[in-house]
Structure 1
Amino acid sequence: MAVTLAEEIMLLSLDDVSGAARERQSAAWAVAGGILLDLVLAERVTVEEGRLRVTDGTPTEEPLLDERLRRIAEWAGRRRRDPKVTEWLTKDQAKAVGATTESLRARGLVRAEQHRVLGLFPVTRYPEADGTTERELRSRLRAVVLDGAEPDARTAGLLALVHGAKLHRLAFPDVPRKEVAPRLDEIAAGQWAAEGVRQAVRDMQAAMVAVMTVTVLTATT
């Protein structure tokens, strides 16, 4: 079974050797957004004017997506109106990272290793176990962004999320951001999917920028 958008973002974030998550906060928002985008592409969820609605509760047969779909439906069902995307991303981003990393472990793409920080605090890290999927992913992203290949809808959506969360260094570690940003702007604005899907991505990008800005301001004050 093909990996999800959230898993692809997580693969970009996890250091292959140490298993530590890089750009942890920004990647967490993108992981949660990736799950939403996969559900939008699967026509289970819509995102309109910054608000989230479950339109079809039928399972996708992808456990990571189906668990999030169930959680969204239960959470949104207790509210008087469709919730804002920012509310869901804020609520779910930390849990989504854990669920996505566990899904990668179950697929055999990473392995779990226990460590202690300062010899006291236990942490789990996820170094690479099978790099085939990540190598294919990075090759595909480079072909689209650096070589001008036409992206399919999922790849374009992934790049739009990477761009919105400012994860350029994770996706293209050896290329300056200024060299990839114009192409990512072009892809995000392009006709790569139905207007409803592209609007959903724009709404999620705006939501990620909003919550990331609040997080940074809170941390600095």
Structure 2
Amino acid sequence: MLTLAEKLLLIGLNDETGKVHYQASTALPYGLAGAVLADLMLLGKVELQGKNIVVVDPKPVGQPIFDKALHIINKTPRKRNAKYWVQRLKRDLKTLRQDVLTLLIEQGILKEEKRKILGLFETRTYPAVDGEMEEQVKEKLRVLVLQPTEIEENKELAQERTLVLLSLVNACDLLRQVFDRQEARVVKKQVKHLTKDVPVSKAVKEMVDAINASVVLAITSAAVVTSSSSSSN
């Protein structure tokens, strides 16, 4: 079974270019950190206590990305909130995106292609080997939202992880990669309602708010730097 980070990155990559969709480029690094945090919650390793994320089971999972994140959270003496951990894991798991890409390549879902621009600069892209896995992930999201009667018939489609993934996809501005334009507008308004009964809903809301706040901060900081650079020139 793919992790939330693997599913989110699959949706975040443009199948044709093998690069991250432009509109998600700022949010996706924070989204991947949030996805790791969400999976640790769903695995019962951490939980939201008040406003803070707390380790409740420090035993390793056996998955390097999860174990590194769990170790970072567990060794930090002060309790911290979701916003802190989304930003901290985005910073400290320096190779998170590449690690997730590697996992997808090892499973034969993506491939790495290298080429040089102007014969000098090497660029790497990650197109899909076969889009079946990504389509399965997207189809679960579509059925969850657009065919609710089927959810009652097949509870597996309404599983927590799919609802959490929907929140992460929305936070990373990737709904249009799953739904058409009109559907995406409707789904955007429904996300909070759809996820309100999820056992980890409060924690997910905290993470989504943290991702959004981090994106705003990153964009604001970049604008300040650009403005300062322009003024100095």
TM-score of the pair, normalised by structure 1: 0.85
User: Are residue 170 (structure 1) and residue 167 (structure 2) matched?
Assistant: no
Cα RMSD after superposing both structures: 2.1
The answer to whether the Cα contact below 8 Å between 1:27 and 1:167 also exists between their aligned partners in 2 is no
Distance 2:117 2:53 in 1: 39
Amino acid at match of 1:131: G
Distance 1:111 1:39 in 2: 27
Equivalent in the alignment of 1:156: 163
Amino acid at match of 1:218: S
- What does 1:83-102 correspond to in 2, within 5 Å? 83-93=80-90, 95-102=95-102
Equivalent in the alignment of 1:72: 73
Amino acid at match of 1:36: L
Distance 1:175 1:66 in 2: 40
Instruction: Kindly state the Cα deviation for residue 85 of structure 1 after the two structures are TM-superposed.
Output: 2.5
Amino acid at match of 1:19: G
Distance 1:181 1:201 in 2: 15
Instruction: Kindly state the Cα deviation for residue 53 of structure 1 after the two structures are TM-superposed.
Output: 2.1
Q: Which runs of 5+ in 1 are unaligned?
A: none
User: Are residue 82 (structure 1) and residue 84 (structure 2) matched?
Assistant: no
Q: CA, structure 1 residues 206+49, in 2 after alignment: closer, same or farther (shift >3 Å)?
A: farther
Instruction: Kindly state the Cα deviation for residue 185 of structure 1 after the two structures are TM-superposed.
Output: 2.6
The answer to whether the Cα contact below 8 Å between 2:27 and 2:171 also exists between their aligned partners in 1 is no
The answer to whether the Cα contact below 8 Å between 1:57 and 1:69 also exists between their aligned partners in 2 is yes
Instruction: Kindly state the Cα deviation for residue 49 of structure 1 after the two structures are TM-superposed.
Output: 4.0
Distance 1:102 1:69 in 2: 20
The answer to whether the Cα contact below 8 Å between 1:12 and 1:134 also exists between their aligned partners in 2 is yes
Distance 1:69 1:105 in 2: 24
1:23-75 deviations in whole A, cap 9, x for unaligned?
A: 222122111111111100101012334432222122323343233323433xx
Equivalent in the alignment of 2:18: 19
Q: CA, structure 1 residues 182+95, in 2 after alignment: closer, same or farther (shift >3 Å)?
A: same
Distance 2:186 2:2 in 1: 28
Q: CA, structure 1 residues 116+51, in 2 after alignment: closer, same or farther (shift >3 Å)?
A: farther
Distance 2:201 2:61 in 1: 21
Q: CA, structure 1 residues 219+154, in 2 after alignment: closer, same or farther (shift >3 Å)?
A: same
The answer to whether the Cα contact below 8 Å between 2:19 and 2:126 also exists between their aligned partners in 1 is yes
> Which has the higher mean CA deviation after the structures are superposed, 41-50 or 115-124?
115-124
Q: CA, structure 1 residues 114+50, in 2 after alignment: closer, same or farther (shift >3 Å)?
A: farther
User: Are residue 187 (structure 1) and residue 194 (structure 2) matched?
Assistant: yes
Distance 1:71 1:115 in 2: 36
Amino acid at match of 1:91: R
The answer to whether the Cα contact below 8 Å between 1:64 and 1:103 also exists between their aligned partners in 2 is no
Amino acid at match of 1:114: K
Q: CA, structure 1 residues 25+117, in 2 after alignment: closer, same or farther (shift >3 Å)?
A: farther
TM-score of the pair, normalised by structure 2: 0.81
Equivalent in the alignment of 2:229: none
- What does 1:48-127 correspond to in 2, within 5 Å? 48-73=49-74, 77=75, 79-93=76-90, 95-127=95-127
Distance 2:73 2:107 in 1: 24
Instruction: Kindly state the Cα deviation for residue 176 of structure 1 after the two structures are TM-superposed.
Output: 5.2
Q: How many residues align?
A: 212
